[in-house]
Amino acid sequence: MATDAPPPEGTSPGGPAQPTTEAFVAMQASPEFADLRRSHRSFAFPLTIAFVTWYLLYVLLCNYAGGFMATKVVGNINMALVLGLAQFATTFLIAWLYSRHAATKLDPKAEAIKSRMEADV
């Protein structure tokens, strides 16, 4: 006869034991987790602000500096097209930088936290 009762806390059906809710809350208050969060925020927030500023500058230039944006660079390619394509390049650059930052700084810290929590179970 099957039961609909959930498994006891700290276990999962068919898998390894999982940390308890209390363990997750305790880890969230730990200096290790604060360091991980600080590493993420110190990278993500400045780049987000810089990119949004760059995007808004592009929009403002398109709206209020039509003469500048219509300046021909090469042939029929003008500043609006160059700066618009630079938006895409910037997006890919930021994604690559974040991937590199995550692999070198965030992932090792997160893995250490995960290993510690799994060892405590």
Q: Which domain holds residue 42?
A: 30-120
pLDDT in tens, 101-117: 999 999 999 999 999 98
Whether 52 maps to a domain, the answer reads yes
Does residue 69 sit within a domain?
yes
Share of the chain above pLDDT 90, in %: 74
Residue 39 lies in a domain: yes
Higher pLDDT, 114 or 121: 114
Structural domain includes residue 106: yes
41 has a pLDDT exceeding 60: yes
Q: How far is CA 18 from the centre of its chain?
A: 25
Q: How many domains does the chain have?
A: 1
Q: Identify the pLDDT of residue 52.
A: 97
Closest CA to 8 of 118, 119, 17, 26: 17
Q: Is 36 exposed, middle or buried (0-12, 13-18, 19+ CB in 10 A)?
A: buried
Half-sphere exposure at residue 60, Cβ-oriented, CA atoms within 13 angstroms: 6
Residue matched to tokens 């308890």? 20
Whether residue 112 lies inside any domain: the answer is: yes
| CA distances, 56 to each of 60, 62, 86, 98 (Å) | 6, 10, 13, 21
